[in-house]
């Protein structure tokens, strides 16, 4: 089972290095520091390579956002049977990664920049963040939700609604507060564990019930 693979961008190690440099430039110098010329110098590559890999500046931004989103993992152990314990581990991993990425300097810089552009240029960066960041994360997380339902480990009528309940339990108002300058959590793991406990209390299937459902489905 690998819900991660379908929507996770596949960048080469060299491209990852370039994207890391692009993210560094953005955090250190803001929007104006991120130019193709500046990135080519910082990453020791040609502008032609940048255009070949990512297209124009918007393509670089989209790749940066997708690269950041790929750091929020859902499931990556191929062939592993989805059990109650494994699902819990995946959900906790997702929660920890999500909090770490959202609270990192890069994501905060990208979001603050997008917010600052909402009255200019039709908030192009905001649209890129939604399409290449949030939606990528959402799709992979909902694939995990559906896998949990198929394994009779989760119960819900709508995967999107169940996922956004979980997202809210993990993030709460933390991201808004961090965007306003408050420090992040000292312990992302504990926050993720509490969120998973609450989510499974709402949407989890008791083991005995799950076993009965599997037996019934096998008849």
Question: Looking at residue 29, which CATH number applies to its domain?
Answer: 1.10.10.60
> 171 is in which domain, residue-wise?
84-206
What mean pLDDT comes out for the span 144-160?
A: 94
Q: Write the CATH number for 103.
A: 1.10.357.10
Does residue 6 fall inside a structural domain?
no
- One domain, residues 138 and 56: no
Q: How many structural domains comprise the chain?
A: 2
Task: Check: CB of residue 95 under 8 Å from CB of residue 197.
Answer: no
- One domain, residues 93 and 136: yes
- One domain, residues 25 and 91: no
> Considering the chain, what percentage of its residues have pLDDT values greater than 90?
55
- One domain, residues 95 and 199: yes
What's the distance, CA 212 to chain centroid? 34
Does residue 147 fall inside a structural domain?
yes
- One domain, residues 97 and 199: yes
Picking from 21, 46, 71, the residue at the C-terminal end of a domain is 71
- Which pTM does this prediction carry? 0.82
- One domain, residues 27 and 97: no
Looking at residue 79, its pLDDT comes to 62
Residue 1 clears pLDDT 90, i.e. is over it:
no
- One domain, residues 52 and 101: no
For every residue of the chain, DSSP letters joined together read --TTTTTS----HHHHHHHHHHHHHHHHH-GGG--HHHHHHHHT--HHHHHHHH-SHHHHHHHHHHHHHTTS-S---TT----HHHHHHHHHHHHHHHHHHHTSHHHHHHHHHHHHTTTSGGGHHHHHHIIIIIHHHHHHHHHHHHHHHHTTSB--S-HHHHHHHHHHHHHTTHHHHHHTT----S-HHHHHHHHHHHHHHHHB--HHHHHHHHHHHH-
**Crossing angle between the packed helical segments 84-102 and 159-171, to the nearest 10 degrees:** 60
Residue 99 clears pLDDT 80, i.e. is over it:
yes
> Considering the chain, what percentage of its residues have pLDDT values greater than 70?
85
CA distance 162 to 116: 31
Does residue 218 fall inside a structural domain?
no
Does residue 78 fall inside a structural domain?
no
Tens digit of pLDDT for each residue in 109-141?
888 888 887 765 556 788 889 898 999 999 999
Does residue 7 fall inside a structural domain?
no
Question: 92 pairs with which residues across the strands?
Answer: none
Does residue 212 fall inside a structural domain?
no
Tens digit of pLDDT for each residue in 14-50?
999 999 999 999 888 887 888 889 999 999 999 999 9
Summary mean pLDDT of the chain: 85
- One domain, residues 91 and 190: yes
């Amino acid at each position: 089972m690998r819900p991660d693979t379908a929507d996770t961008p596949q960048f080469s190690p060299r491209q990852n290095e370039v994207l890391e440099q692009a993210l560094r430039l953005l955090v250190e110098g803001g929007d104006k520091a991120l130019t193709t010329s500046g990135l080519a110098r910082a990453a020791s590559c040609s502008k032609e390579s940048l255009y070949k890999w990512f297209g124009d500046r918007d393509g670089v931004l989209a790749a940066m956002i997708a690269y950041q989103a790929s750091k929020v993992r859902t499931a990556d152990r191929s062939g592993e049977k989805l059990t109650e314990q494994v699902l819990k581990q995946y959900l906790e991993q997702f929660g920890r990664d999500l909090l770490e990425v959202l609270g990192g300097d890069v994501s905060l810089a990208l979001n603050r920049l997008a917010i600052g552009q909402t009255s200019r240029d039709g908030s192009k960066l905001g649209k890129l963040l939604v399409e290449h960041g949030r939606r990528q994360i959402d799709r992979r997380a909902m694939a995990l939700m559906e896998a949990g339902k198929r394994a009779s480990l989760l119960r819900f009528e709508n995967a999107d609604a169940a996922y956004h309940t979980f997202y809210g339990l993990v993030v709460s108002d933390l991201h808004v507060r961090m965007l306003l300058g408050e420090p992040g959590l000292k312990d992302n793991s504990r926050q993720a564990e509490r969120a998973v406990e609450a989510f499974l209390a709402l949407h989890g299937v008791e083991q005995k019930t799950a076993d009965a459902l599997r037996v019934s489905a096998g008849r």
